[in-house]
Structure 1
Amino acid sequence: MTVHRDLAWALKRQAQRAGEQAPSVRGADWRLATVTAVNSNGTVDADGIPGIRRAEFYRNALVGDVIALTQASSGNLLALGRMLSVADPPWVPYNVAWTAATTNPSVVNGTITGRYSLFGKTCHVSIRLVTGSSTTYGTGNYLFSVPFTSANDIVEYQGSARLTAGSTYIGQVLLSANSSSMNATFPTSATPATAANMSPTAPATLASGHILRLGLTYQIA
């Protein structure tokens, strides 16, 4: 009898363990996994499981992401998205190329700082330029690089520009389709409020200590 009871108990435990591993028995479930590969077809591999489809809102997948996987009773898996870390990720710094149509400027002992945040195909970018005593300003209209080439689409993208140069000048930035640089425009006068591309002398003659701030949201390629 003891042998029979032990055998019955062992068979019951084996069946229980098998059921715990079978989605068709346990029903829908979810768990955590670590991404090991991001595939060109929009899927990810995680914890040895290939080709897991991603939810539409799980953008910019990266190897090493700790993600939530949901599993249907059929066994199909779906990657819901990365788990929040200790804090939201900071904006990413990038090197801004400041150029001009004829002769390029050089920031020298000034500073030019660029940062961006990417969510799917949407990029938010911000630039801050502070001129120094040795900064040279080049000649011709200015361009400022963005971290990713814009989508090759019909639309252009507009943002804001603010120059503090004795007075404060409010303008716009414009990024064309399929472009990696944006230009800044400022009104040439109060009346009429027409605008011209920014240059070393427009909207003001640049000098040490002036501050230019640019901001833009656009779709990347």
Structure 2
Amino acid sequence: MTQAPRINRDLVTGLKGLAKRAGEQAPSVRGADWRLATVTAVNSDGTVDADGIPGIRRTEFYRNALVGDVIILTQASSGNLLALGRTLSVPDVPWVPYTPAWTAATTNPVIGANGTLTGRYQLFGKTCHVSIRLVTGSSTTYGSGTYQFSSPFPSANDIVEYMGSARLTAGSTYIGQSLLPANSSSMNATFPASATPATAANMSPTAPATLASGHILRLSLTYQIA
């Protein structure tokens, strides 16, 4: 008889502990919450798997998801999960140096002992920003044929080409474009072949040329949506 109260107390304590743990795990009891999780898969439907939980939807701001991302998960009282975004492991994505290969169609140039050829790139998921700086020296030889400069990574095989800017200072300053084709590791620089005509006009069926079968127009830009 003397053990009954103690057994009852132990039973009540155990039930309280079970109820507490069940409440901690039940969103409908504890309300909305958030926690950290590690991404284990990135799915083609835009969701991610993290910490054994499949199909977690992402916010518009969580782009370029990668396996291994430590993300913030928010959970509604209904139990629905949403991936808010990754936590930062470094202050900023670093710019990384690399040495581009400088080649030509016929005979390759050589930068020489007192010239410099420097490249740097920044990688965000599958988006790469790259810059190249070439400074010729007295021992530089220039080869023959059109020039190519290697990119840090091959471009995607997605039909479109990628265009940027080019600038040459050689007595005068020349403004042109850089071009990296699809599925390629080599970019080139293009400049106007002559100084005239220097005017420009919006494209139409007959300007700057009368369009016909086989003509190609290449456009590229970066923009922010509303």
TM-score (ref. length: structure 1): 0.69
Aligned-pair distance for 1:144? Answer: 1.3
**Please, which of 69, 73, 79 is the counterpart of residue 69 of structure 1?**
73
2:13: which partner in 1?
Answer: 9
Write the mapping of 1:117-156 to structure 2, written as runs, cut at 5 A. Answer: 117-156=122-161
Aligned-pair distance for 1:61? Answer: 1.5
1:90: which partner in 2?
Answer: 94
Aligned-pair distance for 1:91? Answer: 2.1
Structure 2: gaps of 5 or more residues: 200-219
Residue 192 of structure 2 is aligned to residue 187 of structure 1: yes
Measured in 1, the distance between the counterparts of 2:221 and 2:141 equals 29
Residue 104 of structure 2 is aligned to residue 100 of structure 1: yes
Q: 1:76 to 1:105 in 2, by over 3 A?
A: farther
Q: Secondary structure at the match of 1:108?
A: coil
1:209: which partner in 2?
Answer: none
Measured in 2, the distance between the counterparts of 1:193 and 1:182 equals 25
Deviates more, 1:54-63 or 1:138-147: 54-63
Aligned-pair distance for 1:15? Answer: 0.7
**Please, which of 11, 18, 22 is the counterpart of residue 22 of structure 2?**
18
Q: CA RMSD in A?
A: 3.2
Aligned-pair distance for 1:45? Answer: 5.9
Structure 1: gaps of 5 or more residues: 195-215
2:127 is matched by which residue type in structure 1? T
Q: Secondary structure at the match of 1:158?
A: strand
TM-score (ref. length: structure 2): 0.68
Measured in 2, the distance between the counterparts of 1:145 and 1:51 equals 40
Higher relative contact order (CA 8 A, sep 6+): 1
Measured in 2, the distance between the counterparts of 1:183 and 1:18 equals 63
2:192 is matched by which residue type in structure 1? P
Alignment check: 8 A CA contact 1:23 1:75 kept: yes
1:122 is matched by which residue type in structure 2? T
**Please, which of 164, 167, 171 is the counterpart of residue 169 of structure 2?**
164
Residue 84 of structure 2 is aligned to residue 80 of structure 1: yes
2:153 is matched by which residue type in structure 1? F
Q: 1:155 to 1:45 in 2, by over 3 A?
A: closer
1:10 is matched by which residue type in structure 2? G
Identity of aligned residues (%): 73
2:33 is matched by which residue type in structure 1? D
Q: 1:108 to 1:30 in 2, by over 3 A?
A: farther
Deviates more, 1:159-168 or 1:6-15: 6-15
The number of equivalent residue pairs is: 194
Q: Secondary structure at the match of 1:105?
A: coil
Deviates more, 1:163-172 or 1:145-154: 145-154
Deviations 1:162-203 (A, max 9, x none): 112232221111222332222101123322349xxxxxxxxx
